[in-house]
A and B are shown apart, each in its own frame.
Chain A
Amino acid sequence: MSTIAMGHAGTEAAPAEKKGLWSWITTVDHKRIGILYGVTAFLFFLIGGLEALLIRWQLGAPDKTFLSPEAYNQLFTMHGTTMIFLGVMPLSAMFFNYFIPLQIGARDVAFPRLNAYSYWVFLFGGLVLNASFLFNAAPDMGWFAYANLTSKQFSPGLNVDFWIIGLQILGIASLAAAVNFFVTIINLRAPGMKMMRMPMFVWMSLITQVLLLLAFPIITVALVLLMLDRNFGTHFFVPSGGGDPVLWQHLFWLFGHPEVYILILPAFGVVSEILPVFSRKPLFGYAAMVFSGCFIAFLGFGVWSHHMFSTGMGPMADTVFSLGTMLIAIPTGVKIFNWIGTVWGGSIQYKTPMYFALGFVAMFIIGGLSGVMHASPPADLQQTDSYFIVAHFHYVLFGGSIFALTAGAYYWFPKMTGRMLSESLGKVHFWLMFLGFNLTFAPMHILGLNGMPRRVYTYSAGMGFEFWNAIETAGSLVLGFSFLVFIWNILRSLKAGEVAPADPWHGATLEWSIPSPPQEWNFAVEPTVDGRDPLWEERRAKGGTLPEPERVSGAGIHLPSPSYWPIVTAFGTAMTLVGFLMHVTLWVILAGLAITMLGIFSWAFEPADH
Chain B
Amino acid sequence: MAHDTAHAMHPPTATGLDTRKLAIWTFIGSECLFFATLISNYLVYKGQSLVGPLPHETSQCMLHGQMATCEPIFEIPLVTFGTAVLLFSSFFVVLALNGAQKGNRKQLIGWLSATVLCGLFFVGMQVYEFYHFFHKGLGYTTNLFGSSFYTLTGFHGTHVTLGVIWLATVLVLAIRGKLPPEKALNLEIAALYWHFVDVVWIVIFPVVYLMR
Contacts and interface: CB of A to CB of B under 8 A. Distances in A.
**Do any beta carbons of A and B sit within 8 angstroms of each other in the complex?**
yes
B33 A242 contact: no
Given A110-B5, A242-B48, A187 B19 contact: yes
Contacts of A220: 34
Nearest to A191: B14
Contacts of B44: 244, 247
A217 B37 contact: yes
Interface residues of A, number: 60
19 contacts: A111-B5, A111-B19, A183-B22, A186-B22, A187-B15, A187-B19, A188-B14, A189-B14, A190-B14, A216-B30, A218-B33, A221-B37, A224-B151, A235-B141, A236-B45, A236-B147, A243-B144, A558-B8, A608-B5
Contacts of B5: 110-112, 560, 608
A110 B14 CA distance: 12
Contacts of B9: 7, 558
Contacts of A222: 37
Interface in A1-49: 6-7
Interface in B55-94: none
A109 B50 contact: no
A523 to B, nearest CB: 12
A111 B4 contact: yes
Interface in B24-67: 26-27, 29-34, 36-38, 41, 44-45, 48-50
A359 to B, nearest CB: 35
A457 B173 CA distance: 61
Given A7-B9, A188-B13, A235-B147, A175 B37 contact: no
Given A112-B4, A187-B13, A234-B147, A217 B41 contact: no
A232 interface: yes
Nearest to A104: B14
A106 interface: yes
Contact of B50 (A114, A242, A254): A242
Nearest to A6: B11
A232 B140 contact: yes
B41 A236 contact: yes
Contact of B37 (A114, A218, A242): A218
B212 interface: no
Interface of A: 6-7, 106-114, 175, 178-180, 182-183, 186-191, 193, 213-218, 220-222, 224-225, 228, 232-236, 241-244, 247, 251, 254, 526, 558-560, 601, 603-609
B155 to A, nearest CB: 8
A217 B26 CA distance: 13
Given A228-B151, A234-B140, 6 more contacts: A108-B6, A113-B4, A220-B34, A222-B37, A224-B151, A244-B44
B151 A225 contact: yes
Given A188-B14, A213-B29, A241 B41 contact: no
B115 interface: no
B210 interface: no
Contact of B41 (A182, A242, A247, A560): A247
Given A213-B29, A559-B6, A183 B23 contact: yes
A221 B148 CA distance: 12
B187 to A, nearest CB: 14
B2 interface: yes
B8 A609 contact: yes
A232 B141 CA distance: 8
B111 to A, nearest CB: 23
Interface in B97-152: 140-141, 143-144, 147-148, 151
A430 B37 CA distance: 43
B13 A175 contact: no
A182 B26 contact: yes
Contacts of A215: 33
Contacts of B3: 608
A235 B144 contact: yes
A179 B27 contact: yes
Contacts of B22: 110, 183, 186-187
Nearest to A194: B14
Nearest to B18: A187
Nearest to A30: B6
Nearest to B24: A179
A403 to B, nearest CB: 31
A107 B6 contact: yes
Given A106-B6, A236-B41, A251-B37, A217 B141 contact: no
Nearest to B150: A234
A571 B27 CA distance: 22
A221 B147 contact: no
B4 A217 contact: no
A605 B1 contact: yes
Given A113-B4, A236-B41, A243-B45, A217 B34 contact: yes
Contacts of A233: 140-141
A606 B9 CA distance: 17
A218 B44 CA distance: 15
Contacts of B211: none
Given A225-B41, A234-B140, A236-B41, A186 B15 contact: yes
B175 to A, nearest CB: 16
Nearest to B44: A247
Contact of B17 (A112, A182, A187, A228): A187
Contacts of B31: 217
A2 B187 CA distance: 39
Contact of B45 (A228, A242, A601): A242
A29 to B, nearest CB: 10
Contacts of A186: 14-15, 17, 22
Contacts of B7: 107
Contacts of B19: 110-111, 183, 187-188
A608 B13 contact: no
Contacts of A603: 4
B20 to A, nearest CB: 8
A442 to B, nearest CB: 38
Contacts of B2: 604-608
Nearest to A563: B4
A214 B6 contact: no
A7 B7 CA distance: 10
